[in-house]
Amino acid sequence: MAQSGMLRGPRDVSSENATAYGPAGMIQESGWLLAVFLALWAGVLDWRYRRIPNWLTLPGLLAGIAVNTLANGWAGAKTSLLGAGLGLLLLLPFVVIKALGAGDWKLIGAIGACLGTGRLIEVLIGSVLVAGVMAVGLIIYKGRARQALVNIGHMLRAFLTMHLPGPEVSLDNPDAVKIPFGVAVALTVVLFGVRRVLGGA
């Protein structure tokens, strides 16, 4: 009788590897692969030029829908569309008050199309944390801690009173400390991708 704890033979291991890393496995992971590629490219552009162009984000969104449809049919297309819609909806208020660039907004929509809703939320939370660390470092480096606290107060008051914040917290303000959010997204997506490759969920 076979023992439940006995070692697996070479055929068993090679069969699992073929499933995980063969064509079928690659199709299932194509959303993550596309998200990492897209985020890295956007991060480089955002770091270098402080903008993320439409020619990257819009085809990225369509590609995300396509690869998920190819992998899982209508269910994949639905997941992809919901992910894109959720990302665009959650960040739209920040675009309206000019606290976030339109390129960053479209990038999150494309990442949502690649990953779906659940994984997008994880990436968004991670990106906000990474952007926060970057902002604190830049504020300390530039000696702008006092002004940063004043701006936070302006934003909180604006949200509580349901009014738009003043121009001092807008991206149009040349004196504002600006964080390339696309870089934060790129770092987060790559970290999640590496974790996935190493066996994480």
| pLDDT tens digits for range 113-164 | 999 999 999 999 999 999 988 888 777 776 666 666 666 565 666 656 656 5
Measured between alpha carbons, how far apart are the two ends of the chain, in Å? Answer: 34
Q: What is the mean pLDDT of residues 178-196?
A: 91
Boundaries of domain holding 114: 29-140+181-197
Q: What is the pLDDT of residue 29?
A: 79
Is there a contact between 79 and 68 (Cβ–Cβ < 8 Å)? yes
Whole-number pLDDT of residue 161: 63
Q: What is the pLDDT of residue 93?
A: 87
For residue 7, being part of any structural domain is answered with: no
pLDDT of residue 62: 97
Note whether residue 91 is domain-resident: yes
Q: Does residue 116 fall inside a structural domain?
A: yes
Rounded distance, CA 125 to CA 143, Å? 27
Q: Residue 111 in contact with residue 35, Cβ under 8 Å?
A: yes
Of 163 and 107, which is predicted with more confidence?
A: 107
Q: Is residue 17 part of a domain?
A: no
Instruction: Output the average pLDDT for the chain.
Output: 79
Residue 139: per-residue pLDDT? 74
Residue 41 predicted with pLDDT over 50:
yes
Residue 164 domain flag:
no
Count of domains observed in the chain: 1
